[in-house]
Structure 1
């Protein structure tokens, strides 16, 4: 397994990992309606701009040539967070077949390393309920719980709870 920069050639593999991760692992924190609304957002998600952005990093983990995880970090503070942070982990998603094998930890470590290299001192994130134990295991602290509307036009109005978290690097 290796972690590398994502390219635009990875878009469809990232979309598949994203959707499958939500569909399987999201059930650990949300009901069927919430998971469906969350996963629907992957169909229309625009991954290319995030991959090409200069304001952050988008990495993938591949195993045997297959993308099995991805993660993103932005080097700017999120406006909607209560905690004062310098950057934001905007997502770490792993294919269910590699969940709890260290792949997500490798992706997160790479994001944190690169954020630190850019001068980021504190990272924030909004963790799905199923991901909170993962981030706590990596020394992220809970800040508050927030309502989140899952992003899809078809399921507008479906909300769930996420946990704002932060970590000093």
Structure 2
């Protein structure tokens, strides 16, 4: 049974709700599901921002020994295993078991990112412990199997935000600053190609990191996967070197 904003019953949810794209059944509209909860969610959003920033200020990332590189085709099998672990184990505090299962339909590895050379890996002693990338294409989220979500059209840096895509950390290496490393690399790469801002679709488990890194919620987007509502939030950030 869904709890408030898609979080488990009895647990205080992070964020202000859920999200998706109303086109083709995955619309990014607030709708009754979010509107009915808008006032109650405002306090949660404020609390999330404060809590996320406090956590990072108290416990700085432990990035010593970590190395970042571009993902290659030979990494695909290892990446799929890491992503499956992350989906299975890092969402339990935010989603019901049914939502975790449903989320697999809209999450996963997008090999187009690897082909484009815009997907990165973080390694610890040669072992992949995190991955994530950015894209100059219109697809906002989803894996190879999420065909209805894919749009390979190239974005226009003069008016469109670049996409931050498929960010995952191995559950045994969470809270080491891996997500921050990947976000920083992706943001710098997007800025180098002329993008002034970036956009992503955040899961509830990933949202605290994005808030701590300066991303702001633009729209709650609940995604209906065969009748199961998976909470997602579209978030944006203006890059530091963007023109005023």
TM-score for both structures, normalised by structure 2: 0.59
Query: 2: distance between equivalents of 1:85 and 1:7?
Result: 27
Are residues 1:24 and 2:89 paired? yes
Q: 2:232 aligns with which of 162, 165, 169?
A: 162
Q: Shift in Å at residue 47 of structure 1?
A: 4.1
Are residues 1:53 and 2:128 paired? no
The 3-state SS of whatever aligns with 1:100 is coil
Instruction: Name the one with the larger strand percent.
Output: 1
Question: Structure 1 residues 7, 66: CA separation in 2 closer, same or farther (over 3 Å shift)?
Answer: same
Unaligned runs of 5+ in 2: 1-65, 141-148, 150-158, 240-244
For 1:90-128, what per-residue CA distance to the aligned partner results, in whole angstroms no more than 9, with x for missing partners?
Answer: 221100111111111111111111111111111011100
Q: 1:72 aligns with which of 133, 145, 149?
A: 133
For 1:32-91, what per-residue CA distance to the aligned partner results, in whole angstroms no more than 9, with x for missing partners?
Answer: 01112224667xx6643331126xx111111111111110211245589xxx74211122
CA contact 2:110–2:166 (8 Å) conserved in 1:
no
| Larger deviation, residues 135-144 vs 20-29 | 20-29
TM-score for both structures, normalised by structure 1: 0.83
Are residues 1:62 and 2:62 paired? no
CA contact 1:76–1:87 (8 Å) conserved in 2:
yes
How many residue pairs get aligned? The number is 157
CA contact 2:113–2:135 (8 Å) conserved in 1:
no
- RMSD (Å), alpha carbons: 2.2
Are residues 1:116 and 2:191 paired? yes
The 3-state SS of whatever aligns with 1:27 is coil
CA contact 1:85–1:124 (8 Å) conserved in 2:
no
Query: 2: distance between equivalents of 1:76 and 1:50?
Result: 9
CA contact 1:85–1:166 (8 Å) conserved in 2:
no
Query: 2: distance between equivalents of 1:136 and 1:102?
Result: 14
CA contact 1:29–1:128 (8 Å) conserved in 2:
no
CA contact 1:11–1:47 (8 Å) conserved in 2:
no
CA contact 1:78–1:87 (8 Å) conserved in 2:
no
